Amino acid sequence: MRGLVVLVTLACVASAQHQALIDYLERRLLAIETARYASELRALKQQMVSQLETLDKEKETLRMNLDGVGTRVDRVERELDYLETQNGAQPCVDVDDKLIEQQVTLVKEKQKAKYSKLSDCSDMISSIKAMKILKRVGGPKGMWTKDPGRGSGKVYIFNGTDEDTIHEFASVQDFSRSVGITLSKALKLPSAWSGTGHVVFNNYAYYITLAEEIMMVKFDMKNSSVTDSAVFPLQDHVPVYGLTPETVMDLAVDEEGLWAIYATRQNERYISLAKMDATSLDIEQMWDTNCPRENAEASFVICGTLYVVYNTKQPGRSRVQCVFDANGMVTNEDAPLIYFPKRYGAHSSLKYNPQEQLLYAWDDGYQILYKLTMKKKLEI
């Protein structure tokens, strides 16, 4: 009997130990599961925090963009107006024709008035003092220039006669040492330019597009947007230069502001000149000059005087052969003969910088600088 009791007691002890072991194992498994879940929860929390930070940044960016929507609406409307002029319906074209006729009449009335100078500049070219070939970039025809606005040293390359991307360099030095255009910033225009008659002035690019009418576009270089555009009031235009047929209008900047050089079929043997308002693109006054289009390759304006460059019969030579002074101080007979040094082909563009008194020339893909010697008009 005592042995049976001992056996029962041992069995109970063994059963209790077994249950204790099972309880211990269950607690350990629970602890392990809890730790694993806690680790996964921490990882999930970190992931959510990271995503929330990203969302906060995107929210801030969206807020900044929304803050600028109001100021950009007007620019978008201007660009839409410009595109509509390029693809307008026929009724709109009829209205535009009437407006152009009214503008032509108004300009002809202004033409009778005396031209008011914007500056006291009375300089004119005496001779070409020096010539410097910087490099060769791009095709046979194009335009390069430096912004003549005060405080700007940037240089701009318009390669070709029908492109839509300007290349901006921080300085002439950067352009000179750049391998091709590697150091440039590309500025995409909303439409392709026509010809080589563009200018850059006070951080704006003024360029010409051609569909049925001549359209002048003012492009903000800082904001990469069209600020304004205007149809030039010419119903029947012809290329301004006989040797550069791609250029239907040439723009120029001098000490007195923005100028447009053009030609009409009504007076197709000669070149015409217009003074423009650089802010509004309005025409202030127009002149018919006595400078022929035949054999003309380029021109520029200095102190209100138009200089037209012609290809001579001498190999590798061109010269200023016609001068028109909007101020009436210089006649073509009084102006000195100005020969350009030997060049490669023909000038597709000549852009004057009034701050430096330099000409930026494009000649068969070569970018050239001409240093000018100046004299007073009254010294003639």
Which residue, 257, 352, 360, 243, is CA-closest to 298?
243
pLDDT for residue 13 = 54
User: Which residues, 6 or more positions from 295, have their beta carbon under 8 angstroms from its beta carbon?
Assistant: 242, 243, 310, 311
Using the predicted structure, report yes or no on whether residue 140 has a pLDDT greater than 60.
Answer: yes
Given 37, 70, 85, which residue is the final one in a domain? 85
Q: How confident is the model at residue 119 (pLDDT cuts 50, 70, 90)?
A: low
pLDDT for residue 253 = 96
pLDDT for residue 109 = 55
Is 2 part of a structural domain of the chain?
yes
Is 313 part of a structural domain of the chain?
yes
Mean pLDDT is lowest, of 44-58, 65-79, 270-284, 295-309, for 65-79
Q: DSSP code of 315?
A: T
pLDDT for residue 193 = 96
Burial letters 111-133, b for 16+ CB under 10 A, else e: eeeebeeeeebbbbbeebeeeee
Does 213 share its domain with 325?
yes
Mean pLDDT is lowest, of 48-57, 117-126, 245-254, 269-278, for 48-57
% of the chain residues with pLDDT over 90: 53
- Find the DSSP H helices in 68-207: 69-86, 90-111, 172-177
Which residue, 350, 233, 334, is CA-closest to 301?
350
* Burial category of 359 from C-beta neighbours within 10 Å (exposed 0-12, middle 13-18, buried 19 and up): buried
User: Which residues, 6 or more positions from 57, have their beta carbon under 8 angstroms from its beta carbon?
Assistant: none
Is 111 part of a structural domain of the chain?
no
Contact predicate 118/257, CB 8 Å:
yes
Is 260 part of a structural domain of the chain?
yes
The number of distinct structural domains making up the chain is: 2
Does 337 share its domain with 190?
yes
Given 85, 112, 135, which residue is the final one in a domain? 85
Using the predicted structure, report yes or no on whether residue 95 has a pLDDT greater than 90.
Answer: no
Does 77 share its domain with 126?
no
Contact predicate 210/194, CB 8 Å:
yes
Mean pLDDT of the chain: 81
Does 160 share its domain with 287?
yes
What's the pTM? 0.71
What is the span of the domain harbouring residue 5? 1-85
Mean pLDDT is lowest, of 16-20, 105-109, 138-142, 361-365, for 105-109
- How far apart (Å, rounded) are the C-alpha atoms in residues 194 and 315? 29
Using the predicted structure, report yes or no on whether residue 198 has a pLDDT greater than 80.
Answer: yes
Does 81 share its domain with 173?
no
Is 48 part of a structural domain of the chain?
yes
Q: How confident is the model at residue 91 (pLDDT cuts 50, 70, 90)?
A: very low
pLDDT for residue 90 = 36
CATH number, position 341: 2.120.10
Written as six digits, the tokens of 89 are 């319906």
Mean pLDDT calculated for residue range 145-158 = 89
Contact predicate 322/308, CB 8 Å:
yes
- How far apart (Å, rounded) are the C-alpha atoms in residues 377 and 356? 19
Mean pLDDT is lowest, of 104-118, 130-144, 224-238, 282-296, for 104-118
User: Which residues, 6 or more positions from 354, have their beta carbon under 8 angstroms from its beta carbon?
Assistant: 121, 148, 253, 254, 255, 302
Three-class HEC string of 214-255: EEEEEEECCCCEEEEEEECCCCCECCCECCECCCCCEEEEEC
Is 3 part of a structural domain of the chain?
yes
Using the predicted structure, report yes or no on whether residue 93 has a pLDDT greater than 60.
Answer: no
| Each residue's pLDDT tens digit, 20-52 | 777 777 777 777 766 776 677 777 777 777 777
Beta sheet of 199-201, edge-to-edge order: 199-201, 204-210, 214-220, 225-231
Does 186 share its domain with 311?
yes
- How far apart (Å, rounded) are the C-alpha atoms in residues 126 and 124? 7
Does 81 share its domain with 128?
no
Does 62 share its domain with 175?
no
